[in-house]
Amino acid sequence: MIFVGDDWAEDHHDVHLMDEAGRRLSSRRLPEGLAGIRGLHEMIAEHAEDPGQVVVGIETDRGLWVQALTAACYQVYAINPLAAAR
């Protein structure tokens, strides 16, 4: 199981991958759009063979990235960033 945190901004995504023990596997700033999505899939593929073992937390429940993540059969959860601020 790997966990992916996606801090979504208007023109980029700050992505952090960690294992079940909370150890950082990889982190990278990826551009918005297809090139960024490809980079994210490549990052994930380095650490997980089964898409069902990938859990993604992202700040939105819509858009190109969310569609690509769900199409890849990752478990995707939209997380309101204000929930963590409290």
Q: pLDDT, tens digit, for every residue of 26-65?
A: 999 999 999 999 999 999 999 999 999 999 999 888 889 9
Which structure tokens are listed for 8? 């979504």
Say yes or no to pLDDT of 9 above 90. no
Percent of the chain with pLDDT over 70: 97
Beta bridge partners of 16: 5, 27
Beta bridge partners of 78: 58
Grade residue 78 by pLDDT with cuts at 50, 70 and 90: very high
Which structure tokens are listed for 7? 């801090």
Q: What is the pLDDT of residue 85?
A: 64
pTM: 0.89
Distance, CA of 64 to chain centre? 13
Rounded to an integer, what distance in angstroms lies between the CA atom of residue 47 and that of residue 26? 9
Rounded to an integer, what distance in angstroms lies between the CA atom of residue 59 and that of residue 2? 18
